[in-house]
Structure 1
Amino acid sequence: MIASDLDGTLLRNDGTLSPRTLRALRTAEDAGTEIVIVTARPPRFVDRLAEAAGLVGTAVCSNGALVYDIAARTVVSSRVLPLTTARRVATALAAAVPEVGFALETGNQVLYEPAYRLRMSEDVGAELPVPTLADLWLTEAPVTKLLVWSDRLDADTLLAAARPGAGDEVQLTHSGGRGLLEISAPGVTKAGTLEMLCAARGIDATEVIAFGDMPNDLTVLTWAGTGYAMANAHPAVLAAVAAHTATNEEDGVADVIERLFAGQVRPAAAV
């Protein structure tokens, strides 16, 4: 299995999948290797990418909260964040880190309160404002992530500031978004969900090659038998992962796959 993050990893900076990378993925699939997308993105983003690039197969979305069948456009399994937990954690974080805004990701929509002023072009049509923070907790939709945004703190600083207030009730991480913290149900990680997926398929961790660039990818990169950090990766990822490849702009994932299927790449421990 090849497990790859999307933004900053498989995709170029303009959000596209290069022809070279697409050819490399097809080569791996033709050789019997399963390609699994492992991303912080929701299914709706994967749908748009699938339409543009013809991707099929399985995606682990929302940092592990959802397993998604790309071709069928169906959520196969989910691990949601209880709304009561999201509210308790948001209350604690608002006290610990003033002037932050909150939003709820449901997989289909982003519900946001007035202080959450982050707008993403790819979410146009999926964003739903609510009048007050209190109204955010009235949703009946299943919540995959609580999003916390600050216009004055970078993601690393925000994560460090939020961790004491969140306690062990949730899983905190970030994927590099400016001042954006992503919070899932406790124990929900990309690696945890990928491990369950592999177990169902009879695939051992040693048979998995993973690619990523941000802190939310670290669980996968360190769990997989071979993990590659992109050259453009977050400093913490570059420091923690021994094997590196070229940047996403230089088709680093394709570079490894091409050499792998030419018999030129050995496991990371031997590189």
Structure 2
Amino acid sequence: MVARLPKLIATDLDGTLLGRDGTVSARTLRALRTVVEAGADVVVVTARPPRYVDALAAATGLGGTAICSNGALVYDLTSRTVIHSRPLAVSAARTVATVLSRAVPGIGFAVEAGLRVHYEPAYTMRHPGDREAEFAVPSVAHLWAVESPIVKLLAHSAEHEADFLLTVAERHAAGHAHFTHSGGRGLLEISAPGVTKADTLSALCATRGIGADDVVAFGDMPNDLAILKWAGSGYAMANAHPSVRAAVPRHTVSNEEDGVALVLEDLFNAPGA
């Protein structure tokens, strides 16, 4: 445990802060409010685009800052505006798609733009509740003509696990982009080189005069690993990816058991369930 109250809590959403049903429990929400009342910042750090965190903010009343799309966007929850963006260059996205198509036959691609997502016919993955934001294009080539900046390139294969796709991408396309995943079956998430949750959080903390030792972070998937290692106290959820549990010494119980709340209640001497 940290010796003093942390100045910032950084938390992933799916598999971490949220339950299986996609909601924040009353206990976890109470713990987050205790953190804010104590004067600390709460920053959501997620692979999700802004349209998802908008819905979360509306449902919970949480404000402040969110780091979205694996670090590509810094988003103000109160004003609902992007305050910093690090998009993937079209040339890099096209190169990565070409390389992965050769290495993984049948793989499909989509361009995540933050407020909407454009997908080509081979990209068959659909996200419940996202229909209004999904737009089909006739071919992969049409993805590169989308006017919005590429927040993330998504690659999906129904035939392979995400860990396999990550290994293939790093072997064949290293240097063109940053590759990670957040647990979706066969879903690879591709950002601009150097864009990670940890890099963006570190920069945000620097603007607030907050060092890593004053940060407590929570996560469950490979895209959270860098942030859990960077923070002064990083906690892997009990339901985390095996590589995350193995690499992070501090663990808490699962998201279904309010693992984030359990740690925050202890740190801030708050009442539990």
Deviations 1:187-213 (A, max 9, x none): 000000000000000000000000000
Task: Find 2:41's aligned residue among 12, 34, 42.
Answer: 34
State the match for 1:182 in structure 2.
Answer: 189
Counterparts of 2:173 and 2:10, CA distance in 1: 29
Task: Find 1:173's aligned residue among 161, 168, 180.
Answer: 180
Q: Is 1:191 equivalent to 2:198 in the alignment?
A: yes
State the match for 2:28 in structure 1.
Answer: 21
Counterparts of 2:220 and 2:174, CA distance in 1: 26
CA deviation after TM superposition for structure 1 residue 122, in Å: 2.8
State the SS of the aligned residue for 2:129: helix
Q: Map residues 55-204 of structure 1 onto 2, 5 A cutoff.
A: 55-204=62-211
Counterparts of 1:71 and 1:119, CA distance in 2: 28
CA deviation after TM superposition for structure 1 residue 158, in Å: 1.3
Contact in 2 for aligned 1:230/1:245 (Cα 8 Å)? yes
CA deviation after TM superposition for structure 1 residue 161, in Å: 1.7
Q: Is 1:11 equivalent to 2:18 in the alignment?
A: yes
State the match for 2:256 in structure 1.
Answer: 249
Counterparts of 2:179 and 2:189, CA distance in 1: 6
Q: TM-score, normalised by structure 2?
A: 0.95
What RMSD in Å do the two structures reach over aligned CA positions? 1.1
Counterparts of 1:180 and 1:26, CA distance in 2: 33
Match for 1:112: what amino acid?
Y
CA deviation after TM superposition for structure 1 residue 162, in Å: 2.0
Q: Structure 1 residues 122-131 or 215-224, which shifts more?
A: 122-131
Deviations 1:131-163 (A, max 9, x none): 111111111110110000000101111111222
State the SS of the aligned residue for 1:36: strand
Q: TM-score, normalised by structure 1?
A: 0.96
Q: Tell me, which stretches of 5 or more residues in structure 2 are unaligned?
A: 1-7
State the SS of the aligned residue for 1:229: strand
Match for 2:143: what amino acid?
L
Q: Structure 1 residues 137-146 or 235-244, which shifts more?
A: 137-146
Contact in 2 for aligned 1:146/1:182 (Cα 8 Å)? yes
Q: Tell me, which stretches of 5 or more residues in structure 1 are unaligned?
A: 264-271
Runs of 4+ in 1 over 6 A off after TM superposition: none
Deviations 1:32-72 (A, max 9, x none): 11000000000000001111111100000000000000010
